[in-house]
Structure 1
Amino acid sequence: MKNIIDELSWRGLIQNKVPGVEKQLKKRTTIYIGFDPTSDSLHLGSLLPVIILIHFQKLGHKSIALIGGATGLIGDPSEKKDQRIFLSLETLQKNTESIKKQLSKLLDFYSEKTELLNNFSWIKNISLLDFLRNVGKHFPINYMMSKDSVKKRIDNNKNNGMSFTEFSYSLIQGYDFLYLNKEKDCLLQIGGSDQWGNITTGIELIRKITGKKAYGITFPLVTKSDGIKFGKSEKGENIWLDRKRTTPYKFYQFWMNVSDKEIEKFIKIYTFFSKEKIESFILKHRKNPEKRFLQKRVAEEITQWVHGKKAYEEVVKISHVLFGKKYINELLLSLDEKIFFSIYENIPHMKLPYKEFEKGVFLLDILKKSSLFASKSEANRALNLNSISINKKLIKKNILIHKENLIGKKYILFQFGKKTFLL
């Protein structure tokens, strides 16, 4: 079999691994990766484990995607400063169904069917006494306290410490690995770098109860430009896979705006192009970086995978309208209602009464009501700096906008600077 470790290593998808895993992976191996259902959608960070599952399948291994319907009731404390807010069982069940649908679509697109499981189906049957007797007895407190996820959690919250609920999380995840090892002959667990402590707990539990050797691999966490990881509970803006939370246009534009340095890393970890093809793409990009060849290639590949070919073609048209320069006035006037509605759905928008435009509405009054500016004075400053356009025409004063200015008697396209739009 082709060496999966080599494949993932050159892509930058391995951070830590248990010794001996290379030898094990020369044979067909069952692996599993867990997905946390504390939100109703996956995001860019959780797209990485999906990609890794596919790489393993492509090279002949069997993969399991495990949704944490039970562990989600507790919340993983790894890399968290405070205890998570507990979600109701009903909410978690809805989230689980939503994520299950997303995983099925993503995995079926590229590979054989992955087995989808929910740990709630077996953990719900375990009594507290059985868990403490059969699992808890194998782990001294000193062992648990040595885990980075525990030490960091306590250090970051010295006043309140760490609840027993959070403290037990690693043992429950460890039990998942033991269960899958017994029932599915699963020998390898993979997770983000923050999961190393949880993974090794499972490996240790399997060794103590069955005497078998199990393995673990972690991959680096992907961070946003501010250094914060993509995560369901992280602060700041996230890039979601659900089009209701992040529109296909915004999703596409995220990739188009990635820096040249980052895009060379992202094409390796977020696409399935071969090493030879990626190296040729990078060389082509470096010759004319201003053409953003890599950004376009990655945006096309991932947007089609996540949102489909039709959505990709639609956002390309939208981008051409918003950022194109040639014949833009004629293009705006010739666009049909369907495309304008698509633009409306994908960028910031607002509604105003049509009758107001019969007498005319001042530009600054519209901008004041919009989400583009915090105040009328801020909008006025932007106008004085020649930063405002209407229907792709630069506006230098507070003009009255009449119904004659509406495209198709219905739309006005405002632009602030190069990349901020409002319809």
Structure 2
Amino acid sequence: MNFVEELTWRGMLHTIMPGTEEMLAKGMASGYIGFDPTADSLHVGHLTQIMTLIHFQRAGHKPYALVGGATGMVGDPSGKSQERNLLSEDVLQHNLEAVKKQLTRFLDFNSGANSAEMVNNYDWFKSFTFLDFIRDVGKHITVNYMMAKDSVKKRLEGDTGMSFTEFTYQLVQGYDFYYLWKHHNCALQMGGSDQWGNIVTGTELIRRKDAGEAFALTTQLIKKADGTKFGKTESGAVWLDAERTSPYQFYQFWLNTTDVDAKAYIRIFTLFERPVIEALEAEHDAAPHTRALQKALAKDITIRVHGKEAMRLIEITTEFTFNSSFQWEDLFDFSEKDFLKVFSSTNTFFISGKTFIDFVIGDDVLNLLVEVKNYDSDLNYKHMFESKTEARKLIMNGGVYINKIKISLDQKLSDFKLFKDKYLFIQRGKKNSALVVFCDDVPYEMERMKDLLKD
């Protein structure tokens, strides 16, 4: 497999320094990509670079994932209109551990000579004094060279300007490249196209400081076909961490991509070979309504990020939500943990201080519905149904379901079964649904359910 050819046909390659292909053709090479730990999870915006390292390793080369414990303290100005807040060492360390754990899902760290390695630039910066840095590194790169970078010029032309801290970022990243070239034989740095200026500063430092030779390659910045930012939804970024973005929400993000975007994404974010992708495209073009591309894309990425078991539960969630033949009782053999995972993207409401039997004895469906409440973290609540009058009207219009059964005003509550004697499923219209939990202590129950969902 030829690494550059692979990136090219997948539509990932943006810019490549002359001589890079020839260097890679000589045999196994080492290359790296940096990840700044600004959060305790990577998001789908990082997947392009993760896929780049995966293809690099599959082509027989040795990938390094640099986690920026030092550069995370500075902040990369590339593509940003203002300086970001600096993180404390404790927060950075927590983020580092989380990011490291996520990267191990994608790269092979036990494959012999080309095993992936993870490095932290804090290890070589922690004892590097400021005076040593400006003497040993700063003297090799001129201010004119640094100011010519687009990332610097754009900030200097803006309203906020640029701090000295961010101005020196390209020197810090450039030294990362020099250090890895010197101590790990890393001849190639890769990254998004917005990183080109920082990357070539590293190649220039290597040339000026040690008369060495190093190379650069960047990938396309991914955008949606309509020009909006990739990886963002109404609720924010799409994270790889299941606690930030549930596996079901993650799957739905990919499933809901447009036809145009799906054709690009299936090349970039899956490992499907070209004939498989072309066959999927042909199937999709013949019957777009089946969404063959989106389904294949969503399933493949979800399995690689969250695993086969999570995908199995997503398929059950989809069946429960959209297949009328899949009944509430079909979930009763599940463990409570798996059951809650099926409803991980469903609103959770509570009925506090009463058991289901209290309502069954009273046999009044309206009394039950007006007790259903959703609580926020401060224990403020809102009702699912504001009054009996509202609930009665919705029932008469056929808009209320319990456990997927449309209810009537004379419905017997004894007809309904609870999962584990505490869970009901209530739908209000087509778009509003809730998993309803009977409990004595809402804060305790909220925390217990949260803990249960943790792996």
TM-score bracket relative to the smaller structure? 0.7 to 0.9
> Are 1:300 and 1:312, in contact at CA under 8 Å, matched by a contact in 2?
yes
Q: In the alignment, what sits opposite 2:75?
A: 75
Q: Deviations over 1:353-405 (max 9, x none)?
A: 2627534536466477699999959x9699599776543345799x9995755
Q: Distance in 1 between matches of 2:417 and 2:60?
A: 57
Q: In the alignment, what sits opposite 1:228?
A: 229
Query: What runs of 5+ residues in structure 2 fail to find an aligned partner?
Result: 436-455
Q: 1:327 to 1:143 in 2, by over 3 A?
A: closer
TM-score by length of 2: 0.81
Query: What runs of 5+ residues in structure 1 fail to find an aligned partner?
Result: none
Are residues 1:407 and 2:433 paired? no
Are residues 1:143 and 2:155 paired? no
Q: In the alignment, what sits opposite 1:297?
A: 296
Rg larger in 1 or in 2?
Answer: 2
Are residues 1:115 and 2:126 paired? no
Q: In the alignment, what sits opposite 1:56?
A: 56
Q: 1:403 to 1:145 in 2, by over 3 A?
A: farther
Structure 2 residue identity aligned to 1:154: L
Q: In the alignment, what sits opposite 2:277?
A: 278
| SS at structure 1 position matched to 2:189 | strand
| SS at structure 2 position matched to 1:84 | coil
> Are 2:109 and 2:115, in contact at CA under 8 Å, matched by a contact in 1?
no
Structure 1 residue identity aligned to 2:62: K
> Are 1:364 and 1:380, in contact at CA under 8 Å, matched by a contact in 2?
no
> Are 2:350 and 2:374, in contact at CA under 8 Å, matched by a contact in 1?
no
Structure 2 residue identity aligned to 1:244: E
Alignment of structure 1 residues 8-157 onto 2, 5 Å: 8-27=7-26, 28-108=28-108, 113-156=115-158
Q: Deviations over 1:269-314 (max 9, x none)?
A: 1111111111011111222222222222222211221111111111
| SS at structure 2 position matched to 1:350 | strand
Structure 2 residue identity aligned to 1:150: V
Alignment of structure 1 residues 257-406 onto 2, 5 Å: 257-328=256-327, 331=330, 337=336, 339-353=338-352, 355=354, 358-359=358-359, 360=364, 361=367, 363=369, 366=372, 389-393=401-405, 405=416
Q: In the alignment, what sits opposite 1:7?
A: 6
> Are 1:383 and 1:396, in contact at CA under 8 Å, matched by a contact in 2?
no
Q: 1:61 to 1:327 in 2, by over 3 A?
A: closer
Q: In the alignment, what sits opposite 1:173?
A: 173
Structure 1 residue identity aligned to 2:146: M
Question: Offset of 1:69 from its aligned partner?
Answer: 0.4
Q: Deviations over 1:107-155 (max 9, x none)?
A: 1399663011000000112111111112212222222222111122233
Q: 1:57 to 1:77 in 2, by over 3 A?
A: same
Q: 1:354 to 1:373 in 2, by over 3 A?
A: closer
Q: 1:122 to 1:110 in 2, by over 3 A?
A: closer
| SS at structure 1 position matched to 2:22 | helix
Q: Distance in 1 between matches of 2:398 and 2:260?
A: 32
Q: Distance in 2 between matches of 1:138 and 1:312?
A: 52
TM-score by length of 1: 0.87
Q: Distance in 2 between matches of 1:181 and 1:407?
A: 62
> Are 2:372 and 2:384, in contact at CA under 8 Å, matched by a contact in 1?
no
Question: Offset of 1:418 from its aligned partner?
Answer: 5.5
Q: In the alignment, what sits opposite 2:188?
A: 188
Q: In the alignment, what sits opposite 1:199?
A: 199
Structure 1 residue identity aligned to 2:132: D
Moved more, 136-145 or 350-359: 350-359
> Are 1:362 and 1:400, in contact at CA under 8 Å, matched by a contact in 2?
no
Question: Offset of 1:59 from its aligned partner?
Answer: 1.0
Q: Distance in 1 between matches of 2:430 and 2:339?
A: 20
Q: Deviations over 1:84-112 (max 9, x none)?
A: 11111111111111111111122139966
Q: 1:107 to 1:133 in 2, by over 3 A?
A: same
Q: 1:122 to 1:18 in 2, by over 3 A?
A: same
Moved more, 287-296 or 411-420: 411-420
